[in-house]
Amino acid sequence: MTQTQKNTGLKRIIHACKYSWSGLKAAWINEAAFRQEVIALVFACVVAAILDISVYEKAALVGAVIFVMIVELLNSATEAVVDRIGLDKHELSGRAKDIASAAVLMSIVLALIVWISVLWVNYLG
């Protein structure tokens, strides 16, 4: 496809949405951690809806879980690319996977901090 034939405007957005949906389906099918995070998101939405907290705090609770899911998608993409290149052990491949996994861990820590902070301020403090 030449530069002049590339999709633009609404057609580009529609194609981008199709690719994104395909990525979400692939993550759901192939990544147990992503499925667990979807369950966590449903839980977060229910709890946030029930709690008597501000709309900003509700958004923070749900947003923290969504952020974990975003990082998990990037981790899964990194793993897929590394595995596509080759399954043989290589220091850089291992490092890439470990760093992506560390990013997931850090996003989970951030989510826990948000949840603990909101609950502490409203119910425990």
Sketch the domain layout of the chain as residue ranges. Answer: 1-30, 32-124
| pLDDT average, residue stretch 90-119 | 97
37 in Cβ contact with 72 (< 8 Å): yes
Measured in whole angstroms, how far is the alpha carbon of residue 31 from the centre of its chain? 12
- pTM over the 0.75 mark: yes
3-state secondary structure of 120: helix
Question: In the structure encoding, which two tokens stand for residue 38, read together?
Answer: 């979807």
Q: Which CATH architecture has domain 32-124?
A: Orthogonal Bundle (1.10)
> Is 20 assigned to a binding site?
yes
| pLDDT average, residue stretch 17-35 | 97
Res. 18: pLDDT tops 70: yes
- Which pLDDT tens digit goes with each residue over 62-96? 999 999 999 999 999 999 999 999 888 999 999 99
- Residues belonging to the active site: 72
> Is 6 assigned to a binding site?
no
DSSP string, 42-88: HHHHHHHHHS---HHHHHHHHHHHHHHHHHHHHHHHHHHHHHHH-SS
> Is 101 assigned to a binding site?
yes
